């Protein structure tokens, strides 16, 4: 277990709070609520939290190198600037199939965008993990169910990937020059009853911090897959984590109140809040999207 303590960074009851991303330029945390298509901006220095509705269910929000944000929305990759009335569709993704939406997204250390999809009814095999480049969205892992957390080792040679219902964190050999991710294999398997792996982040020591949906914790695994720390939270549906703050040592954790009953909420009044945990670890920064690497054909 861990002696680390949590604080509430942003109150509020998100249905499916997700996708925390630290914006070093502005010193703010972006996070989302998937179901209503809500984008949140948290200023940890002041505690101010602002929200915008973007019009579609949202899977991720990542700062862009060119300014503004790149959003993974129901129908594809969009550009958005805070305060704008609308988003701009850059890359459609399975837009013909309204039973599918985009889910988690992240950039590799070069700013190459990766994002997955999932079906609203969670049907097996409907999810795909895509790499985005000048040729458009390239399917890299097909036949998934809930394409979820991603990350890269500090030396960029390993990519981490979660398809949540498998109860695994998988690894792939990664070529940072080409974006090729190959030889997918199991790295860590979460034991029955401990929760399901969701979003993750990698720290500067190469350790993986993974949120366990239904488990009420964030776990830290060493590069060899050994479990070395468990941070408990006061809610069960823990969704994702990222490092932020001036020294990249604050771990921000999103949670959900998805399908919780009034009795559930009474037991877990902080469900859906965003938490922050002070650590003695330097995390990996949120990598901004290099839009020049995207095909913007619509």
Per-residue pLDDT of the chain (298 residues; tens, 9 = 90+): 567 899 999 999 999 999 999 999 999 999 999 999 999 999 999 999 999 999 999 999 999 999 999 999 999 999 999 989 899 999 999 988 999 999 999 999 999 999 999 999 999 999 999 999 998 999 999 999 999 999 999 999 999 999 999 999 999 999 999 999 999 999 999 999 999 999 999 999 999 999 999 999 999 999 999 999 999 999 999 999 999 999 999 999 999 999 999 999 999 999 999 999 999 999 999 999 999 999 765 4
How far apart CA 81 and CA 68 sit, in angstroms, is 5
| pTM across the whole model | 0.96
Domains annotated on the chain, with CATH: 6-293 (2.120.10.30)
pLDDT digits 0-9 by tens, 58-101: 999 999 999 999 999 999 999 999 989 899 999 999 988 999 99
pLDDT digits 0-9 by tens, 204-232: 999 999 999 999 999 999 999 999 999 99
Helix (H, G, I), strand (E, B) or coil at 143: strand
**Closest Cα partner for 286 from 83, 69, 134, 72?**
69
How far apart CA 32 and CA 216 sit, in angstroms, is 19
DSSP state of 119: E
The residues carrying an active-site annotation are 198
């Amino acid at each position: 277990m861990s002696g680390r303590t949590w604080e509430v960074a942003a109150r509020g009851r998100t249905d499916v709070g997700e996708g925390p991303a630290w914006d070093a330029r502005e010193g703010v945390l972006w996070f989302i609520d998937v179901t209503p298509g809500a984008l949140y901006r948290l200023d940890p220095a002041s505690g101010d939290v602002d929200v915008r509705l973007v019009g579609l269910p949202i899977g991720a929000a990542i700062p862009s190198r060119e300014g503004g944000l790149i959003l993974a929305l129901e129908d594809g990759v969009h550009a958005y600037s805070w305060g704008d009335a609308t988003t701009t569709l850059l890359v459609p993704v399975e837009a013909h199939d309204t039973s599918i939406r985009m889910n988690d997204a992240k950039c590799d250390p070069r700013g190459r965008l990766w994002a997955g999809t999932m079906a609203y009814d969670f049907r097996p095999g409907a999810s795909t993990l895509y790499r985005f480049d000048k040729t458009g969205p390239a399917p890299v892992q097909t036949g998934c169910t809930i394409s979820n957390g991603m990350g890269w080792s500090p030396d960029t040679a390993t990519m981490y990937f979660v398809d949540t219902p498998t109860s695994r964190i998988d690894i792939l050999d990664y070529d940072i020059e080409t974006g090729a991710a190959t030889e997918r294999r199991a790295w860590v398997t979460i034991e029955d009853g401990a929760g399901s792996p969701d979003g993750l982040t990698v720290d500067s020591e190469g350790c993986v911090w993974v949120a366990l949906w239904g488990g009420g914790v964030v776990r830290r695994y060493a590069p060899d897959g050994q479990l070395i720390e468990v941070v408990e939270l006061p809610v069960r549906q823990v969704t994702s984590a990222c490092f932020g703050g001036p020294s990249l040592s604050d771990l921000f954790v999103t949670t959900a109140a998805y399908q919780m009953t009034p009795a559930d909420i009474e037991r877990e009044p902080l469900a859906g809040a965003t938490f922050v945990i002070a650590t003695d670890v330097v995390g990996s920064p949120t990598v901004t999207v290099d839009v020049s690497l995207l095909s913007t054909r619509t």
